[in-house]
Structure 1
């Protein structure tokens, strides 16, 4: 047996500006780590104030309260005998840095500022923080008096340094630094650092975990070493859901992994590793030659050993982390499972922290509102499972939300019963609605247990239409009744907008109707593709309080419904999968039934492709066309592809103003159209793109048509 070290990393459900709650969760994680015999604990990025403070990081109060929380952590008995890596903002020489504060026995060993900041996609760290650009350099940082009173230190090292204990060497790497090409762990490892800590605020995105795991494994595969990855978990107060999955890797192999989705506020992952395995892994000539010439890091020497030489506190499950014994098989959820779990956990955090009494959604009988409702039901399943396990925090939150008194013995152990208490659904039919959608909505509500209302709103629509006629002297008609396109669109939109008005009325008063107090949050159900295309009415049911599917494609939603049909035992969902997507805002005739994909001029699968090209691959109209010539050229002609590209960009451009009013949505897709957060683009475009479209037309007119070559495809079927 070599030199064993028990190490701890964690996922914490921190909340922006919840300093008391964040403190309690940090102390709890340290206590659990010590109980398991750990001598090193690492927590998520900016865990003291919460990662999602945004412009609050610019306020002196946020920094002040972070120091106050750190003082309480240092004053407690929890940090005695364990090295703790804790995250908070620090002002050094009037510059705000995103920092890790490494402490031991009521002393600060090092303040390590972040050197590479996340500044794309969902992140704007450069707006709040400045990167530390003095690599492998450090300075004195003079501590505030509140900390001096606890640590008896006047100043501490601040900068890019490492910590040398009696038996090993520890280096710090922060979130984005792992994702950079020249990550700090490389040079630190060559200079003898054996344990790397990484504190992250990494959000969930469908199919993203694999990339994160591979980077963590790669960090020590060639280099050798132990990597502790900590992450925020839960809704930090905004659109993102941080998906935990704290991990420990040794020499390129994952030896411990936490849950990716959980209702737990605190989750600690521990493993006992042998530091000699790192040294044996590094005994390679080429690595030694590079290490011998590596730049030197300043070492902060600490008279403390992570190895104890005792095995009293080593648990059997932690021994599984030892190289040479069982190696953990990393758990990846399928995209369908991710949709069932991620948005459900986000909804639970939002519900309990907003201190409202539940959710309300208009059920249309279509797949989008169906998927949203099933995600809420998935949330109820997670709550009931946690309650059956005896999770006191979940039970307490469920009692408060459902209107129970403090001394109530209620336990939400049945998911359908709990859904009936907190989830309210409503079918808002008109003369244009079909019996099929009404039936599907009712059957779905029965399957999930929601408190359901079925109503006709024709009288409200007629009243508004009559008011317009009274004021103007003319009565608008649908196109099928002889009206113009303008009349037809206006009559559709008024139905959609009135549903939004009624949704908020019922959301505010349904608890009162049921003898309870408070109100409900209205859920939106516009998917990412419809939002991108602008295929929605501004201020209709797409306008809500939050939207759990606003970052999920229609294609993935259909796969989720197919998964839920079996997993949740809901046969009714098959009827949603086979139904033609329709808004049901125009009269149904013997020869006409409104269809979403016909109205849009493209399929949902095509919309997903456009979305990824526009955002992820950063393509404008012309480069989108050139890429699709290769991808779609075997079944569409160049002219057909050109027409689809031009139609998409035209519709996207002329509907961009709608993105400024999109309901805050759960972020799940890399091409989300979320305005001024994730997708920074103007909302007034030259929507016909005369220069770009002309170039597309010029190229399309001379390219050969490959769509008919040897395939025997009827060209008209693709138009």
Structure 2
């Protein structure tokens, strides 16, 4: 039996925070030593941070990354550590993993496949390394092998797939199999998305089975650069069996997941199954043996369960919010709490992000992480870090006020009620004077609605500025799709935590949160119909009456934007869910509102990327601000459905 103890490590890094990043790496290495780990895999670009964007072109960043590497090397006595950083060779940039063995740098492995779709732009900065290519790279008065390398220590052979390398049909694992590689390391920076944990588990376990190896996957952790949340997942599998999986979304700066593997078991199985001539690698780096025959006591690893979608949303959002707050050095959260579904969700997530931090870190470590703040004695941290303001007008109802007040009190935040009716009257009076006529709801509906949302922004911004806190905007993805938001009003804020999820899911999640998180105060908002409360009460305004049922809006959005379908294709896909005339009306409204509101989406606050249906034009969904508006495509749909809506709408209908 040939046992070695291997480990993956996740790290909560920050772009260009070289001191903090190196400190986390060294702490992870010390923890690995305490656990008698012999081979430790740390994430991709861990020294610099993954999300450095165009700063990767900076000589300062490249030099600082190498300085960080030089600080790490002496602390690796007695084990092998792999850690990622950007490097330059022949005036080209490469995404690289440094291999350090017993306090000695022994080589660099360069990434071969670059992620360039969706939220990823690696080809903008890096070049892909050529398969099989090896060069000698000079650094610090020495030369090191650089490129497509395999390493061997005491008869244990290991190679790499760096994140995207593993997600392609032709991948390094296939060549590693031919080269008798025992352990494949995958240092990654893979964004969280709903359900991605199951996909990764299949990738890791199936690769270990198909290529007769042990496979280690190590991801980044936390909100590193603003939009992307990393779940910090660590997976270890052998011969198709998952041996270890950590608890994701930790508030710790790092985690280590280790397990003992029997390399001889791999060798025996390979002897039985090989039916081809192996390829003997020319790019093999032989290293001095550090591996003992056994590492008592035998460690089998743990397998933490995966979460449901509701739990994933809760865990990702709370960690993302907490990291965003502390890394931006904001002094808590401020939001305009209307008592409706979106703002109530934001309130709960902010409160839970702080409660999770308190539970997982303890009060002392929490205060240490927020060391840039001064806290008042005798007041709870929650009341100092979460402030909610209800800003009512004559059109606001008592139900939403009660909802906002009860929820803030229930989670322990600070609540303020501001009546802004006099401000509304002032602006209406000024506009009346300018127009030379009275403003009426029949004639001036949109302007009269928007001014109420817009006049709430200056006061809440002022409060956030006074407190030095992070102001949240509460818009969701469904609203972004059709522009159902007031620019410089309810879109005001530095972060839009709900921008990546649709309204239908938010409504479902609130029902889940009321029971699963034991927040009975959510019963108030769960009993209300979603409404902007911007028209007089006798209009009985609701969001779905203004737009369409949220379920069908989200279905149309998925077909039209995620799946790139034309209006006619959307109609054919969804036909039968509603009467034809009603469905074509919904589709027509969606495409017209989508086309004319791209300028709003360009101005929304940053949001978290949670799935492959994001509408953020800066990272995912590009669309022209000026466009043809789908008029011909809508006419094609109307003709197909034997209806036409190109004439003036019927009485009571408005698009």
Question: Is the pair's TM-score, using the shorter chain for normalization, greater than 0.5?
Answer: yes
Gaps of 5+ in 1: 149-153, 322-327, 512-518, 703-718
- Judged with a 3 Å threshold, the aligned counterparts in structure 2 of structure 1 residues 293 and 4 are, in CA distance, closer, same or farther, namely closer
Matches for 1:88-237 after TM superposition, within 5 Å: 88-132=85-129, 134-143=130-139, 147-148=140-141, 154-237=142-225
1:606 maps onto 2:552 in alignment: yes
User: Following TM superposition, by how much is the alpha carbon of 1:471 offset from its aligned partner in structure 2, in angstroms?
Assistant: 3.1
The aligned counterpart of 1:335 is 309
Structure 2 residue 345 is matched with structure 1 residue 365 = no
Cross-structure match for 1:551 = 500
Alpha carbons of structure 1 residues 110 and 377: separation in structure 2 relative to 1, 3 Å: same
Q: Does 1:531 align with 2:480?
A: yes
**Whole-angstrom CA distance in 1 between matches of 2:498 and 2:397:** 24
With over 3 angstroms needed to count, the CA separation of the structure-2 counterparts of 1:402 and 1:624, relative to structure 1, is farther
Q: Contact 2:568–2:640 (CA<8 Å) still a contact in 1?
A: no
Deviations 1:656-677 (A, max 9, x none): 1100111111221321111221
In structure 2, C-alpha distance between the alignment counterparts of 1:621 and 1:157, rounded to whole Å? 55
* 3-state SS, counterpart of residue 701 of structure 1: coil
TM-score, scaled relative to structure 2: 0.94
Aligned residue for 1:187, secondary structure, equals: helix
The alpha-carbon deviation at position 526 of structure 1 amounts to: 0.8
Q: Where do 1:58-457 residues align within 5 Å?
A: 58-74=57-73, 76=74, 78-132=75-129, 134-143=130-139, 147-148=140-141, 154-285=142-273, 288-290=274-276, 292=277, 294=279, 296=281, 298-305=283-290, 307-311=291-295, 314-315=296-297, 319-321=299-301, 329-388=303-362, 393-398=365-370, 400-401=372-373, 403=375, 417-457=380-420
* Change in 2 beyond 3 A, CA 1:462/1:652: same
Q: C-alpha offsets along residues 327-347 of structure 1, whole Å, 9 cap, x if unaligned?
A: x55511111112222111111
CA distance in 2, matches of 1:230, 1:383: 23
Stretch moving more, 617-626 or 210-219: 617-626
Mapped partners of 1:62, 1:110: distance in 2: 20
Distance 1:21 1:398, change over 3 A: closer
Aligned residue for 2:322, secondary structure, equals helix
Of 696, 700, 715, which residue of structure 1 is paired with 2:641?
A: 700
CA distance in 1, matches of 2:278, 2:457: 67
User: Does 2:620 align with 1:667?
Assistant: no
Where does residue 598 of structure 2 map in the other structure? Answer: 656
User: How much is the aligned-residue C-alpha RMSD, in angstroms?
Assistant: 2.0
Deviation string, structure 1 residues 641-699 (Cα, Å, up to 9, x no partner): 33322221111111111001111112213211112212122122211x13322322333
Q: Say if 1:583 and 1:594, in contact at 8 Å, map to a contact too.
A: yes
Instruction: Classify 1:453/1:64 alpha carbon distance in 2 versus 1 (closer, same or farther; 3 Å).
Output: same
Q: Cα deviation per residue 1:118-162 (whole Å; 9 max; x = unaligned)?
A: 111111001111111x2122111122xxx33xxxxx211111121
In structure 2, relative to structure 1, the CA distance for the partners of 1:275 and 1:393 (3 Å cut) is same
Which range moved further: 184-193 or 276-285? 276-285
Displacement of 1:393 in angstroms is: 3.6
- Deviation of 1:402 (Å): 5.0
Q: 1:646 to 1:296 in 2, by over 3 A?
A: farther
Gaps of 5+ in 2: 644-654
**Contact 2:43 2:218 (C-alpha < 8 Å) held by counterparts:** yes
1:399 deviates by: 5.9
Tell me the CA shift for residue 70 of structure 1: 0.8
Which of the residues 604, 610, 619 maps onto 2:565? 619
From 410, 425, 432, the counterpart of 1:462:
425
What is the CA–CA distance in structure 1 between the aligned matches of 2:581 and 2:281, rounded to whole Å? 61
- Counterparts of 1:664 and 1:249, CA distance in 2: 36
| Structure 1 runs (4+) greater than 6 angstroms displaced | none
1: CA distance, partners of 2:521 / 2:480: 27
How far apart, in 1, do the equivalents of 2:371 and 2:360 lie? 13
Q: Distance in 1 between matches of 2:513 and 2:149?
A: 50
String of CA shifts for 1:531-589, please: whole Å, max 9, x gaps: 11211111212221112111122222222212221233222212212211100001111
Distance 2:424 2:321 in 1: 32
Does the CA-based 8 Å contact 1:361-1:524 persist in structure 2?
A: yes
1:586–1:639 CA distance, 2 compared to 1 (3 A) = closer
| Residue of structure 2 aligned with 1:497, choices 454, 460, 484 | 454
Q: What number of residue pairs does the alignment pair up?
A: 644
In structure 1, the residue corresponding to 2:219 is in which secondary structure?
A: strand
Shift of the alpha carbon at 1:496?
0.5
CA distance in 1 between counterparts of 2:102 and 2:635 reads 70
Q: Are residues 534 and 223 of structure 1, via their aligned partners in 2, closer, same or farther at CA, if it must alter by over 3 Å?
A: same
Q: Which deviates further from its counterpart, 558-567 or 341-350? A: 558-567
The SS at the match of 1:666 is: coil
Shift in Å at residue 211 of structure 1? 1.0
| Alpha-carbon distance in 2 for matches of 1:95, 1:70 | 19
Q: What do the CA deviations read for 1:304-340 (whole angstroms, capped 9, x no partner)?
A: 24x31243xx455xx224xxxxxx5551111111222
Residue deviations 1:44-86 (CA, integer Å, cap 9, x gap): 1100010010111111111111011111112x2x212211111
Q: CA deviation at 1:116?
A: 0.6
Contact 1:638 1:701 in 2 (8 A): no
**Cα distance per residue 1:78-134 (max 9 Å; x no partner):** 2122111110011011110011111113432221111111111111001111111x2
Report how far residue 294 of structure 1 moved: 4.8
* CA displacement at 1:398 relative to structure 2: 4.4
Contact 2:246 2:303 in 1 (8 A): no
Worse overlay, 248-257 or 604-613: 604-613
